[in-house]
Amino acid sequence: MPTNFASYYDAVINWKKRLAREMPLLEELAGQAGGRVLIPACGTGGHVVALAQQGFDVLGFDADPDMVEFTRRRIEAAASTIAAAHGKAEVRSLTMEGGTVLGAEYGAAFCLGNPLPGLSAEGQLLAALRGITSALRPGGIFLTQNLNYDRRWQQRISQFPLLTGETPSEELLLVKVAEYHAGYINFHAMFLAREKPSGKWQAHARTSRQIPLFQKLLTDLATQAALGGFTFWGDFARAPFEIEGSHDLIVTARKR
């Protein structure tokens, strides 16, 4: 992985549009949960900072050291606005399975951006859900946003819209392709980058294995991880989840 992979991912995300869509629900749930929020697989930290800027006490963690460092810099850059809102933001290097070390101190945990299907090793996803749940207080709120794999698996959706972005020094294109196999998906992400103003294009590819995380499978595993009271939505506006029509599967539950 190139050292600037985290900056590449961050650059192709339209954070203004994404946060406008997602934050109303996240803020509502975080408020119900008492203000202490956990963001497992926090990526480049956009949600960590955005929630802290609304006055919440937020801990993000990720297993990727580049993502952790990017998030740390983002928190430092936003320190004054976080302090003005009386919020708090931290980031740690930790796997989702490692959430057991945190203690049952958080009122909510938000897994955003389709992180769970990438936990494809035997037993890894259940261990991750148990790790996250262990960090929640009894009755704590769990939310995960994943792609609708019931629909994708049925339709074999393999190609996705081209994404564009830029870092201070490079122009970027992101090409995404899904390759379906028996019981799993190989997901290929290729960044094409060139130095400004007119350098040569260079390719940086990354492949990850994903499990098709169907609604029933996710519910069964989450139940084993001591979660219950499930609600299913198709988007952050709380549209009903439709297996054949929804782009996303958003699940909320509470720790039993």
What is the pLDDT, as a whole number, of residue 1? 38
In the chain the domains, ranked by start, together with CATH numbers, are: 5-149+212-255 (3.40.50.150), 151-210 (2.20.25.110)
pLDDT in tens, 127-151: 999 999 999 999 999 999 999 999 9
Mean pLDDT, rounded, for 109-131: 97
pLDDT-derived band of residue 108, with 50, 70 and 90 as boundaries?
very high
Q: Bridge partners of 173?
A: 164, 192
pLDDT in tens, 4-45: 799 999 999 999 999 999 999 999 999 999 989 999 999 999
pLDDT in tens, 35-77: 899 999 999 999 999 999 999 999 999 999 999 999 999 999 9
CA distance 158 to 187: 9
Percentage above 70 pLDDT, the chain: 99
Q: Which tokens sit at 187?
A: 């997901």
Q: What are the strands of the beta sheet with 170-181, ordered from one edge? A: 163-166, 170-181, 184-195, 202-210
CA distance 166 to 174: 11
Residue type for 146, please?
A: N
Maximum distance among all Cα pairs of the chain, rounded to whole angstroms: 56
